[in-house]
Amino acid sequence: MFLEAQAPGAGGLIGLLLPFVVMLVFVYFGIMRPQQKQQRERQAMLDGLKKGDRVVTIGGIHGEITKLSEDTVTLRVADKTDIVISRSGVGSVKN
């Protein structure tokens, strides 16, 4: 009895690639898209900062914006106490 090895056909190739395609779709919709949405929302929040907004920095410091520039934000954290932080250091805006 001779067994001849058969080359996988088109159906075999699809069967081999299907798990990889499913995994790529899962990675894109499960990980990459939500992360991109979160980055867009964060950038919109940083672009929408204005004088008088009350914010919390990523380090947990609460303050009110007194001055804005392209890269920095000046926060008043107490009477006569202002600090200058990077605009990207703002964690959230409080209402």
5-55 pLDDT, tens digit each: 555 555 688 888 999 999 999 999 999 999 999 999 999 999 999 999 999
Tell me the pLDDT band of 95, cut-offs 50, 70 and 90: confident
Residues 33 and 66 in one domain: no
Is the same domain home to 43 and 55?
A: no
Domain interval for residue 74? 51-95
1 occurs within a structural domain: no
pLDDT score of 8: 53
Q: Are both 14 and 35 inside the same structural domain?
A: yes
Between 53 and 1, whose confidence is greater?
Answer: 53
What total number of domains does the chain contain? 2
Give Cα 53 to chain centroid, integer Å. 22
* Shared-domain flag, residues 68 and 81: yes
φ, ψ dihedrals at 55, nearest 5°? -130, 165
- Say which CATH number the domain at 84 has: 2.30.30.60
Give me the residues paired with residue 68 across strands: 73
Residues 36 and 73 in one domain: no
Same domain, yes or no: 40 and 14: yes
pTM (two decimals) = 0.70
- Residues 54/63, Cβ–Cβ less than 8 Å: yes
The answer to whether residues 41 and 77 belong to one domain is: no
Same domain, 81 and 66: yes
Question: Looking at residue 5, what is its pLDDT?
Answer: 53
